[in-house]
Chain A
């Protein structure tokens, strides 16, 4: 069995897609000057609400829409205290993450009547390109949300660099006092960034629960939101480096999965992405110097 092939590339894209969406949200917030550590909880909420709305409507696409809308609403739990009332975003984020864990477990029992894991043959998942009758190389077994993730990174990179609102977002995050003296209030941009991050986490969660698999299980985001936070820091909140960091994580996960097939213990395979993330942080710290990394955070 060949260890590296196109299937591995495909698996890397699958594994990284939810992280890319979440990291893109984190990047927007970082650019606007809000440290968004609540990606994990929002990703989990996105996964749950995606499954819930797919179950209720019988359409995976309406599930995606439901996830995007409700996760953006859920993001108000971060944006209102942290932006409007100047609470410490780290403290608020801890609350948002813990709330998501409890709330999804509770609502799963109440609304889906299942504990631990919910899955059903009647639960519609996202279609793959193959199922849609499209012959796309590499992406055949993927949902259309998978290529959407890097596409949105490209759009974001262009938007930040080349549009009026993108420039202003960068300014507001870089020096809010200066922005205010030019008549640009930071709060509006920050609210939009945090809610936009919520919507993106909704997309990521929906891909995780309706694309990568078709089920919801308690705590299924499993640290991907934290990896996204790290990716934002590693990439210095620049779109392309952040994408690269996410792909590194995805590759580690896919590779670990592959090695498991070759007899590596499952625990080691599961740990691989996080070990890689940790190593990347250490290497980045060593090469760029401690100060640069702190500035990026």
Chain B
């Protein structure tokens, strides 16, 4: 008998059918991957399983018994536990408090802190999830925080763990440890539902895979008997074109277009965010920047784009300093799409114009004409030029940003997390656009937390750790193990 069974789940939001008659069964002690593009209905399905949403049709069985689910409390009572992508922890509370809150051990009405700490240590021992019970969660690295959330679910006697994109925030090393933990947990008879879009993880860690597309199940596979290719076809309904990227073999030569000299950025308090970084980027090459989030990449790129003035050092573009504010020679695709890259409530046409609004040649009609041309050239799928850009999917919004930034002939292209929140199909197109920018002879600086993306695109990869560049690897040298080691500060 399956540990959990979803039967004919249908969930609508207004006119949108997020889940359309989905069946899913999770066996005891298996790691079951649920994959699909953004908008395929994975999150909705998990919310239904965890009692956050009530389905319009269908029901959930736990050990063959039909559950009445009105809220997550019912799911918890039935032995389900969820580890959210954005962790649901209390930063001001300790590890032990975070684990026990909602089901606290007490002695004569008073919190039994000692018992809580013992319980955290016992569970940590049992499942290989070490965490200091007295540490404040806000001070812990994200990998440890995730362990705390898993501990919380196990403390509440979860027999089915649902993990939503658990590796999105982890380094490769932390991710590898997580999968070790998950295998240990399943050994104790706990089932794991792994929601992800990273096919490498699916193939490496899961026992079975269910693929969703457009709210329906489009494939069920035993992991051992499937391939990445087969999964991709089920996910996007066609196979990906072979990579259109020029091999990075023909190494660019010549002087640096971008020269970063001994740049130092001090934070408000604590050590410098960026401590004396120097590097250069030539025309016709893509230089990748890797590093665990918060290693100084953001600050460094803010300096390169002219958004931030360094405390020391300078940045030269074709021999002249970058202009403060926004240098017209820099194409910039920021990570924060709604905050920095677009004005979410303004129309697609206006967003495509931004930066060029002072140019006299743009009459109202010319703006629309240009927008139409860009949408066509860059393959942005939108119902109308006049709808707010926020209604576009992540992939289409990102293509619109790229269209705006790459449409001129700006020699330097700075890109942060270009495929975050972007579906697989659009990822492919975005990568092609970046490779094209390089082949046109532009200098491209690419910051990404997706190592596979860096390895596929970059000619060289600079690894940042605690504000410094600790390694520079060529495309051939940059295996995940070497990158991962450098990202955690171990000499590569």
Does A183 contact B71, Cβ atoms closer than 8 Å? Answer: yes
Does B72 contact A182, Cβ atoms closer than 8 Å? Answer: yes
| Contact A291-B102, Cβ < 8 Å, known A174-B91, A181-B72 | no
Stretch at the interface among A38-46, A112-120, A139-147, A165-173: A165-173
Instruction: A36 to B412: give the CA distance in the assembly, Å.
Output: 50
Which residues of the other chain, B, contact A177 by a CB distance below 8 angstroms? 88
Which residues of the other chain, A, contact B204 by a CB distance below 8 angstroms? none
Does B101 contact A289, Cβ atoms closer than 8 Å? Answer: no
Instruction: A175 to B93: give the CA distance in the assembly, Å.
Output: 11
- A180 on the B face (CB < 8 A): yes
In chain A, residues 11-57, which have Cβ atoms closer than 8 Å to a Cβ of chain B? Answer: none
Most B C-beta atoms less than 10 A away, residue of A166, A175, A183? A183
| Contact A182-B91, Cβ < 8 Å, known A168-B101, A289-B269 | no
- A184 on the B face (CB < 8 A): yes
- B202 on the A face (CB < 8 A): no
Which residues of the other chain, B, contact A182 by a CB distance below 8 angstroms? 72-73, 76, 88, 101-102
In chain B, residues 50-88, which have Cβ atoms closer than 8 Å to a Cβ of chain A? Answer: 52, 71-73, 76, 82, 84, 88
Instruction: A174 to B91: give the CA distance in the assembly, Å.
Output: 7
Does A164 contact B76, Cβ atoms closer than 8 Å? Answer: no
CB distance from A157 to the nearest CB of B (A): 14
CB distance from B378 to the nearest CB of A (A): 36
- A162 on the B face (CB < 8 A): yes
Q: Chain B binding site: helix, strand, loop or mixed by DSSP?
A: loop
CB distance from B457 to the nearest CB of A (A): 35
- B92 on the A face (CB < 8 A): yes
Which residues of the other chain, B, contact A289 by a CB distance below 8 angstroms? 268-269
Which residues of the other chain, A, contact B93 by a CB distance below 8 angstroms? 167, 170-171, 174
Contact with B along A169-203 (1 / 0, CB 8 A): 01100110111111110000000000000000000
Which residues of the other chain, B, contact A161 by a CB distance below 8 angstroms? 111
| Contact A163-B72, Cβ < 8 Å, known A170-B93, A182-B102, A184-B102 | no
Does B109 contact A163, Cβ atoms closer than 8 Å? Answer: yes
CB distance from A127 to the nearest CB of B (A): 34
Instruction: A186 to B310: give the CA distance in the assembly, Å.
Output: 43
CB distance from A130 to the nearest CB of B (A): 37
Which residues of the other chain, B, contact A168 by a CB distance below 8 angstroms? 101-102
| Contact A183-B102, Cβ < 8 Å, known A170-B90, A171-B93, A174-B93 | yes
CB distance from A52 to the nearest CB of B (A): 37
Does A163 contact B111, Cβ atoms closer than 8 Å? Answer: yes
Closest to A185 in B: B71
- B168 on the A face (CB < 8 A): no
CB distance from B432 to the nearest CB of A (A): 38
Contact with A along B101-117 (1 / 0, CB 8 A): 11010100111010000
Which residues of the other chain, B, contact A163 by a CB distance below 8 angstroms? 109-111
| Contact A167-B92, Cβ < 8 Å, known A183-B71, A291-B268 | no
Which residues of the other chain, B, contact A170 by a CB distance below 8 angstroms? 90, 92-93
Does A167 contact B104, Cβ atoms closer than 8 Å? Answer: yes
CB distance from B415 to the nearest CB of A (A): 28
| Contact A178-B76, Cβ < 8 Å, known A164-B111, A183-B102 | no
Instruction: A169 to B73: give the CA distance in the assembly, Å.
Output: 18
Does A162 contact B111, Cβ atoms closer than 8 Å? Answer: yes
- B350 on the A face (CB < 8 A): no
Does A174 contact B92, Cβ atoms closer than 8 Å? Answer: yes
CB distance from B299 to the nearest CB of A (A): 15
In chain A, residues 238-297, which have Cβ atoms closer than 8 Å to a Cβ of chain B? Answer: 289-291
Taking a contact as CB atoms closer than 8 A, the residue among B88, B106, B113 that contacts A181 in the complex is B88
Which residues of the other chain, A, contact B181 by a CB distance below 8 angstroms? none
Does A171 contact B268, Cβ atoms closer than 8 Å? Answer: no
Contacts A171-B101, A178-B90, A183-B71 known; 8 new A-B pairs at CB < 8 A: A162-B110, A163-B110, A168-B101, A175-B88, A175-B90, A180-B72, A181-B82, A182-B102
25 A-B pairs with C-beta separation under 8 A: A162-B110, A162-B111, A163-B109, A163-B110, A164-B104, A164-B109, A164-B111, A167-B93, A167-B97, A167-B101, A167-B104, A167-B111, A168-B102, A171-B90, A174-B90, A174-B92, A175-B91, A181-B72, A181-B84, A182-B88, A183-B72, A184-B101, A184-B102, A289-B268, A289-B269
Interface residues of A (CB under 8 A from B): 161-164, 166-168, 170-171, 174-175, 177-184, 289-291
A-B pairs with lowest CB-CB distance, top 5: A183-B73, A178-B88, A182-B102, A174-B90, A164-B104
